[in-house]
Structure formats: structure tokens, C-alpha cells
Amino acid sequence: MLTPNIYKYVDRFHNGYCRVFLDDGQCGLIDRSGSVVVPCIYDGMEYPSEGRIAVFSHSHVGYCNLDGVEVIPPIYLQGAGFSDGCAAVQLADGCCAFIDTLGQMLFDRTFDNVRPFHNGHALVCDEGRWGLIARDGSVAMPIVHTAITENTGRLFLAGSLNHMAVYKVADLTQPHSRSTAQPLTCITDSIYAGTLGYSEGLLSVVRNGRFGFVDTTGREVVPCIYDETGLFQQGRTLVRIGDRYGIVDTAGRIILPLEYDPAPSRGNPYTYNDSRALIAKNGKLTYVDLDGRPILPFALDDAYQFSDGLAAVKMNGAWGYIDTTGNIFMPFVFDRAAPYQYGRAEVVYNGHVSKVDLKGRCVKNCNGIIAWREINE
């Protein structure tokens, strides 16, 4: 036991910290040793960012340090976490501004709306028009655009509705970029209508109702010909034309031909995890590796994504677990089986719910079973 049994709710640990609740409106923060970092006196809080913890009290936001000391009182209507040494906040008059870690307002000006800093830049809005400012408060992009997307990576879209161009932001957090790189560059014509986001150096774009990806030179490395794409994970993303699915890489090369079927949504099909992606054909499932090669025949009736190197799969009416090579890790004897989380998975065996570890051993509610892997040995 890390903590006494006193909390009504607990969250999961995130970067070494966990939110805990004595009751509604009594939120605090503990560390991995169970020690109280912030006492349970707030309505809620965010996890730490850059040494500050956003705390909520009576519909206002303030900030504590990592010793739990309130260094910025809860005076803001809204407040984001710290990034690039500052936080976006909404003042009592409804205007938005940026503050430093001591609560001092930066740039001596306010805006109608703002977004947090990323790579040394932040999106700001005045009178319905958006632009970009640098960390010193200078205007990097004129505040004239009526449509803009989040600046969460090196690329984003700006312009007017259905007529946006791709802009590349220099990473001003790197010392050499401050003097050698253009802070902002327009790298395409205004031909795009939206984006799903930025991933692995590429920006998802929508042109004429079709999806593709643009790189940092402005080239459509994945052409806008698809009815659907995801975002890149492990250098791969799903693509769809009509009801046919496939997979492409960050160079636009087809890794898995577009000839596969929709699959159960709980398995996140055609999306890689542990270098394996779930795919479907003719009512059966299997997994493919990063080169699109199946690791076992199409024989699965149901399945989840891999996690911790194992996947819960169903075949011939029963659930079991396989490893990333397609070998059986635990036999197909379960009524139900769930994915692994934090080294544990929940299974149902003969109507009883149990927990198993990464060695196939029962660790909770075992009903006489010690090691599931020994059932068929």
C-alpha cells in the first residue's frame, strides 16, 4: 500500500504524479511514493508542466509549485499548462494573455483568444482574426487570418475557410534557429480546407474533400486521393478509398494494398501498436508487421491491439493471447479477455473474473489456478 485507504477517487499516474480525491471538490496530488504533493483542498487540477500545477478553486485557476505551494493565486477565469516558460490565461475582464511562472503578464498586451506556445510561437486572435506571435511578443504572422489550425507541430494551416495554405514554423526553442531560420514560411498555395493534425513530421491536409499529407517542403508526399486517413504511428497510417482499407508509409508508399475490409473498432484496425496492425478480410482478422506481412493466417474472430507485446484474440468461440510473432502465449480457454494495461490483463474463466501478469500467472481471484500458461502443458 502506497497510501492509506482514504480516497474516494484516484486517477492513474502520469509522469510520476496522480490526482486523488477525498470527495467531490477535494482534489490533491500525490507522487509515486504516495506522499502528498498538493493537499486535497482544490476543486480540481492539471498534471504538472514545467514545474507548475494548474489548480481550480471556485471556478478560477491558479498555480502551485512542485512543493504544493500556491505561487500564483486562483484569479484567472481559465488557464492552460505552462509551455515555453509561460501559460495562456483568461483575465477577469474576459481578455486573454500570457503569464510567466511568477504570474507576471508578458508582452503588455491582451488578446481576444490565445493558444499555448509551441516551438517558440503561439496563435493569437483579435477581432476574429488570427495570427502568430513569437516568444518575445513580436508578430511572426500578421493577425489577419479568418481560419487557422492548431500550432501543435512544425506545420499548420492558415487563410480563409476552404482556402488555407501550409505554413512552416521554425523551432525557436533551438539556439541555432533563432539566428539562422526564417521564423515562419508559407510553403504551399491556399488550396486546403482542413487537417486532422500533425504527426511524425507531416501535416494531414484536406483538398477537394480528399485526404493526404504535406511535408516540411510543401510537397504532398501522400497525395490527396483518399476518403480517409489516420495520423502516423511508427511511420505508418491507415488509408481508405470507398470501403477498401490499406496502409501507407511516410513516403506515400503503399505498405498494405487497399483491398481489405472494415474491422471491429475496438481493435483500432490498420493502426500500429508494438509494430503490429490489425486487419480484416472476409469476416476474419489477422495482424501484419511494418512491411504489411501477416504474422498468422486470417483465422481470428475478434481481437484487440497489441500492448506490452501481447494481444487478446478470439478464435473458435474462446479467447486467448498471442505474442508479436503470432505464437500462442496463453491458450484459448477464456470466456473473455482484455488488453494488457500496466502489466496486467483481466480475463474471465468459467464465469470468474481474474487478473493475469505478463508471465501468464494469475495474480488476483485465481480460484485455484496459479499459471494459465500451464493449462495445456
Rounded to whole angstroms, the Cα distance separating 371 from 65 reads 46
Q: Examine the pLDDT at 181 and tell me if it is beyond 60.
A: no
What's the whole-model pTM score? 0.84
Q: Examine the pLDDT at 363 and tell me if it is beyond 70.
A: yes
Rounded to whole angstroms, the Cα distance separating 59 from 125 reads 24
pLDDT at 142: 93
Average pLDDT over residues 29-57: 95
Q: What is the band of 68 on the pLDDT scale with cuts at 50, 70, 90?
A: very high
Asked if 300 and 266 touch (Cβ cutoff 8 Å), the reply is no
| Residues across the chain | 377
Q: Which domains are seen in the chain, by residue range?
A: 1-106 (2.40.128), 111-232 (no CATH)
Residues whose CB is less than 8 angstroms from the CB of residue 81 and which lie 6 or more positions away in sequence, other chains included = 46, 47, 49, 50, 52, 54, 87, 116
The region of weakest confidence among 105-109, 265-269, 316-320, 331-335 is 265-269
Q: What is the band of 357 on the pLDDT scale with cuts at 50, 70, 90?
A: very high
From 264, 352, 351, 353, select the one nearest 311 (Cα to Cα). 264
Buried b (16+ CB within 10 A) or exposed e, 111-122: beebbbbbbbbb
Rounded to whole angstroms, the Cα distance separating 15 from 99 reads 24
81, 86, 87, 93 alpha-carbon torsion, rounded to 10°: 170
* Chain segment 140-153, per-residue pLDDT in tens: 999 999 999 988 88
Rounded to whole angstroms, the Cα distance separating 346 from 336 reads 8
CA distances from 294 to 132, 238, 289, 317 (A): 46, 16, 6, 22
pLDDT at 5: 85
Strand 155-160: give its sheet, edge to edge: 147-148, 155-160, 163-169, 184-186
Average pLDDT over residues 211-233: 97
Q: Examine the pLDDT at 169 and tell me if it is beyond 80.
A: yes
Q: Examine the pLDDT at 199 and tell me if it is beyond 70.
A: yes
SS3 label, residue 153: coil
Rounded to whole angstroms, the Cα distance separating 331 from 321 reads 7
